[in-house]
Structure formats: C-alpha cells, structure tokens
Amino acid sequence: FTFPSLLVLLLALTTVIVFLKSDLTNWLRLQDQNPCACEKCLSEDNLLALHRLNHSVEPFLTANTNVSADAFRWWKRLQHEQRDFNYYKSTVHKLFKLFPPVVDYGEPSSDSCRTCAVVGNSANLKGSHYGSLIDYQDVVMRMNTAPIKNYESDVGTKTTHRVMYPESAMDLDNSTHLVLFPFKINDLKWVIQAFTTGFYGRSYAPIKSKIKANKNLVMVVNPAFMRYVHEIWLKKKGDYPSTGFMALILALHICDEVSVFGYGADNDGNWSHYFETLKRKNFKTGPHPGKHEYALIHELAQNKTIRLYKGW
C-alpha cells in the first residue's frame, strides 16, 4: 500500500467503526427502555414464561378482521348457532356501518403506564373497602349488570368499560365503553338493532330492546379471541370461558398493569355475587371451569403478572 491509499483505508475503517458504535449504543439504549412507564410492564418476560400471551390475536373485531372458518365453527357451537359463515360475515359488515371500523385502545408507551382494574362480581368484595383503590386505576372494567349504588366503598364508583352480552345488558353513560362479548349471531344483531330500530328477537332470558350508550365507544370482542382464551389459556377445559375470565385476559392485552378484584368463590366455596343473597347453596359455575380459571388467576398473581385482591 502507498501512504495515501493506506490513509484512505484507515479513514474508511474509522468511519465504519463510528457508525457501528453508534448503532450499538442506540440498540443498547433501546434494550434498557421499558415498553411502559410502570414499575413492571406486562410485555416483560414474566408473561412470556407462561407461554400463553399471544399479541397476534386481535382482541376486538374491526372492519378488516378476518375470522377463520375454523374459529367460526368453534364459536357457533357455544350456543348452538344454526346460521352459516356467510350470514355471520354479512352481519359483521352491517355492524361496522354503524360502529367505528377500528378500535383504538392505545399502544404501550415508554412514557405512560396504563393501569387497569378488572372488577368481578364475587361476594368476597363485601366489606373489602377496595372502592378508592379501584377508582384510582386508569381503566375500570365491570361485568354485566353489577350495581355500584349502595356498594361504593367496596366496589368504587368509576367505570370506563362495561362488559356485557344482550341478556346482561344495561344502559350506560356517554363516557363508558360498551364491551360486547358475542356468543351467537343474534348478539351481533342485537347490538346493531338496540342502537337503531330496536331488537325484538328471543333468547333464554329477557333482552333489552333498546340501549342507551355511546355508539362511538362500542367494542365487540373477536370470536377468535374467545377461542384463543379457551384453547391456549384454559387448555379446552369447560365448554367455554366465563365472561369474567375472558375480561381478565382482555385486560392483559390492552393494559400495562392489571389489578383484579371480586374473583373467586366466597368463604363457603359458593360462587355468589356481592349484590345478591344466595338462595341456592352449592351454586357452581355452570359450563365454565370456575376452579381452573381461578387457579390460573392465582398463578398469574404468584408470577406478579397481576395484582390479585382477594377480598373477604
């Protein structure tokens, strides 16, 4: 090598080293960054160790969601749906003529920590005095028609998301999300007609013909997500997951930090509600694998994936 060519080679090598060092520094800085501003984020390896969380499964239906024929066949067996896949798809098409075509539930951010309270209906909430702790969370999910009035000190007053299906529907204020868990095509038809013409179909329980709620805050859970909870989380135990368990897994997908209240049986082992007097002893969880679900919730708490408040 002549001196000029050696000098050019040394300059080129120096430039490459500087760029590589810069890239390595940026990569290391990214590794140090938390995906959220919480003390511990859900996307960290405490969940990955469970081999269950799958962010590729869309929690909510959108105008562009492609539910597979296999997922539809699983879903249609839940409550003996007789209509076919094409009828389902045409109903979903009508759904997104009325409701927002995309659900915006936010992405994790390194400068924010979205905390969520998932509030079940267990009698163990009685006398818990969890109300202020529940209200402190950014997102508060409640189930079905669970009342707040007269129970404020134990269950709080704040609701950002109300999980329901047609047989458990209730009117909402203008700032609360209606989170629909559909178990059959009629449930999809109900949410359309309850906001428009009124629903007059039949079911195993009375159904509200019309509902008061903000149609821009309607969120419909993806049938494929329901199947994923049953097959991946519950290993196909029970006929299908309970609404409460699916709501909890939903929270793991949309929240940075999850606190769980009002889950599990009461002190006598009965699955009773905080707002009801149990008339029938040995009340169980029907087609849902209640004990197995609660064991998984306890496992999540032991892994510090969630905070579980057991009540009394």
Beta-strand relationship, 218-220 and 139-143: unpaired
Whether 151 sits among the annotated catalytic residues: the reply is no
C-beta separation of 69 from 240 below 8 A: no
Whether residue 216 is annotated as binding a ligand: the answer is no
Query: Which CA distances in Å does 64 have to 98, 204, 227, 237?
Result: 15, 32, 19, 30
Q: Are 141 and 252 in contact (CB under 8 A)?
A: no
End-to-end CA distance of the chain: 83
221 in Cβ contact with 182 (< 8 Å): yes
- Is 127 one of the annotated binding-site residues? no
288 assigned binding-site residue: yes
What's the DSSP call for residue 101? S
Instruction: Out of 88, 228, 240, 309, pick the active-site residue.
Output: 240
Tell me whether residue 240 is annotated as binding. Answer: yes
The response to whether 214 counts as a known ligand-binding position is: no
Residue 79 labeled ligand binder = yes
d(CA 284, CA 203) in angstroms, rounded, equals 22
CA–CA separation, 99 vs 59, rounded Å? Answer: 16
Query: Per the residue annotation, which of 161, 177, 230, 288 is the catalytic one?
Result: 288
Amino acid in the structure at residue 121:
N
Question: Which one-letter DSSP state was computed for residue 230?
Answer: I
CA 159, 160, 163, 164 torsion-angle sign: positive
Q: Is 264 annotated as a binding residue?
A: yes
How many alpha carbons fall within 13 Å on the CB side of residue 302?
A: 8
| 88 part of the active site | no
Q: Taking a C-beta distance cutoff of 8 angstroms, is the pair 47, 258 a contact? A: no
Residues in the annotated binding site: 79, 121, 144, 204, 240, 244, 264, 273, 288
Active site residues: 240, 288
Known binding-site residues for substrate equal 79, 121, 144, 204, 240, 244, 264, 273, 288
